[in-house]
Amino acid sequence: MARVILQNISKVYPGNIRAVQCANLEVDDKEFAVLVGPSGCGKSTVLRMIAGLETPTTGTIRIGDRMVNDVAPKNRDIAMVFQSYALYPHMTVYKNMAFGLMLRKYPSDEIDRRVREAAEVLDITELLDRRPRALSGGQRQRVALGRAIVRRPKVFLFDEPLSNLDAKLRVQMRLELSKLHARLQATMIYVTHDQVEAMTMGDRIVVMLDGVIQQVSPPLELYYRPVNRFVAEFIGSPPMNMIEGYLESGEHEFFFVALENKLRLRVPKQLSVLMKGYAGKAVVMGIRPEHLSANKEQREKKGEGFTAVIEIVEPLGSELHVHLNLHGKIVIARFSSEQIPQVQQPFVLDVDTGAACFFDPETQRAIL
């Protein structure tokens, strides 16, 4: 069992730089966990502490059943793959992959078996005699992966391993890493700043901001039930539309009122119940672009839609991103591309208010 457990982990670098603050996280055995967040939020620091390359200022780290705070990196049974491949230029691919095992004095037939098996998995068998300079970026990244695989670690740690690859190769390697995870059945912790990588690869995603873990959830829960505004806006592209307004209580229900009273949307019953405490108070409504749709049901009059002026239409093939001006506020809608709407025309939209998220403007937390 190779669970990884962080308890109250903080890291303060010299100069009082608080890189990680009181992180608690349990990554299950065989789980693929992704740490995601903007640059500088502390992702690499967390990973490096798990690897033993940085010492936590406070807290404990467990790998499997062992507390590893005082265990040297080489004895932690982990392998780390970085963005820079750091291959030895003078060694062949074979030797690059074998080298770590040679240092650990594995018998040469065992080394040979592991290297060939990893090369097979990564589809680089025919490259084993080449040197790194004769490889493409994607091939080098595979060798770096191979070097980790031959170690058969309990836990793989990846720090933005695909960031140096071009967009197409990134998508391909992303899939291959997911397959590799299924095949190796190992615990993997993967760091990226790219929310699409996080969403597509992670069993669970750990969103970080300013050294603090914001939310740990499976991808769709993160998408549909973000715990705060930051997570809501970080995950999803185009991002969730945020409209500041307040809750007005009607006779039997609430209305979300915004944009100098020009926008008035009925809040569905089941949400109204949860938001009782916010009657008359300021709230922020978050609505995803796909929850705004071309008006078909004439819902505007019932408080379930609005009219806005189309400013820009971005055709992306199967879908359109439509930027609309709603009384001075730009909102983005995602339409199917069956019909391209006219720019500079008023356009009536239905709002799926049942799918909206509401946030407390002071705490920024979701109102659940």
CB 336, CB 242: distance < 8 Å: no
Q: Least distance to Mg ion from the beta carbon of 233, Å?
A: 21
CA distance 21 to 11: 7
Beta strands 319-326 and 263-267 are unpaired
44 versus 215: smaller Cβ distance to Mg ion: 44
Reading phi first (left if > 0) and then psi (alpha if -120 to 50, else beta), residue 40 is in left
All residues at 6 or more sequence positions from 322 whose CB lies less than 8 Å from its CB, including other chains: 310, 312, 313, 314, 332, 333, 334, 335, 341, 347
Binding site for Mg ion (CB under 5 A): 44
- The CB-of-195 to Mg ion minimum distance in angstroms stands at 15
Considering the complex, what minimum distance in angstroms separates the CB of residue 161 from ligand ADP? 13
Q: Residues 59, 93: contact at Cβ < 8 Å?
A: no
Please give the structure tokens belonging to residue 292: 């705004």
Q: Least distance from C-beta 6 to ligand ADP, angstroms?
A: 14
Pick 208 or 284: Cβ nearer ligand ADP: 208
Closest CB to ligand ADP among residues 159, 350: 159
| Sites of contact with ligand ADP (CB under 6 A) | 13, 17, 19, 37, 39-45
* Shortest Cβ 135–ligand ADP spacing (Å): 26
Question: CB-wise, 21 or 353, nearer to ligand ADP?
Answer: 21
- Least distance to ligand ADP, CB of residue 187, Å: 20
Residue 361, binding choice from Mg ion, ligand ADP, none, Cβ under 5 to 8 Å by partner class: none
User: CB 82 → ligand ADP: shortest distance, Å?
Assistant: 11
Terminal Cα distance for the chain, rounded: 35
Nearer to ligand ADP, 8 or 261 (CB): 8
Pick the closer one to ligand ADP by CB: 7 or 57: 57
217 binds, among Mg ion, ligand ADP, none (CB under 5 to 8 A by kind): none
Rg (CA), the chain: 25
Q: Which is nearer to Mg ion, 44 or 214 (CB)?
A: 44
Residue nearest to Mg ion (CB): 44
Q: Round to whole Å and give the CA distance between 356 and 267.
A: 9
Partner whose binding site includes residue 17, from Mg ion, ligand ADP, none (CB under 5 to 8 Å by kind)? ligand ADP
Which phi and psi angles does 216 have, rounded to 5°? -125, 110
Of 99, 73, 92, 82, residue with least CA distance to 151: 99
